[in-house]
Amino acid sequence: MLDYEIFNAGDVVLQSGLTYRNARLAYKTYGTLDAAKSNIILYPTSYGAQHYDLEWAIAPGKALDPTRYFIVIVNKFGNGLSSSPSNTPPPFDRARWPQFTMTDNVRVQQRLLHDVFGIERIKLVYGFSMGAQQAFHWGALFPDRVERIAAICGSAKTSPHNFVFLEGVKSALTADPAWQDGWFATSPMRGFQAMGRVYAGWGLSQAFYREEEWRKLGFSSLEDFLVGSWEANFRRRDANDLLAMLWTWQHADISANELYHGDLAKALGAISADALVMPCETDLYFTVEDNRREVALMPHAELRPIPSIWGHRAGNPAQNPTDAKFLDEAVGELLAR
Is 284 a binding residue for a copy of itself by CB under 8 A? The answer is: yes
- How many residues sit close enough to a copy of itself to count as binding (CB under 8 A)? 42
Is 95 a binding residue for a copy of itself by CB under 8 A? The answer is: no
115 among known catalytic residues: no
For a copy of itself, the closer of residues 152 and 194 by Cβ is 194
In degrees and rounded to multiples of 5, residue 4 shows phi and psi of: -140, 175
Is 104 a binding residue for a copy of itself by CB under 8 A? The answer is: no
* DSSP assignments along 266-326, one per residue: HHHHT--SEEEEE-BTT-SSS-HHHHHHHHTT-TTEEE--B--SSGGGGGS-TT-HHHHHH
Give the integer Cα–Cα distance in Å for 87 and 85.
6
Order of strands across the sheet that contains 70-74: 5-13, 19-30, 70-74, 40-44, 124-128, 148-152, 274-278, 301-303
Min CB(33)–a copy of itself separation in Å: 41
Q: Which of 46, 312, 323, 328 is catalytic?
A: 312
- Shortest CA distance to 85 belongs to which of 200, 2, 181? 181
Give the per-residue contact string, 192-231, with a copy of itself (x = CB under 8 A; - = no). Answer: -xx--xxxxxx--xxxxxx-x---------x---x-----
Is 185 a binding residue for a copy of itself by CB under 8 A? The answer is: no
SS3 content of the chain, % helix, strand, coil (to 5): 45, 15, 40
Q: Which of 46, 84, 86, 129 is catalytic?
A: 129
Min CB(311)–a copy of itself separation in Å: 10
Element (H, E) at 104: helix 102-117
- Shortest CA distance to 113 belongs to which of 72, 150, 151? 72
Scanning residues 133 to 172, which ones bind a copy of itself (CB under 8 A)? Answer: 159-165, 167-172
323 among known catalytic residues: no
34 among known catalytic residues: no
For a copy of itself, the closer of residues 131 and 196 by Cβ is 196
- Active-site positions read 129, 283, 312
Residues at the interface with a copy of itself (CB under 8 A): 159-165, 167-177, 190-191, 193-194, 197-202, 205-210, 212, 222, 226, 284-285, 287, 289-290
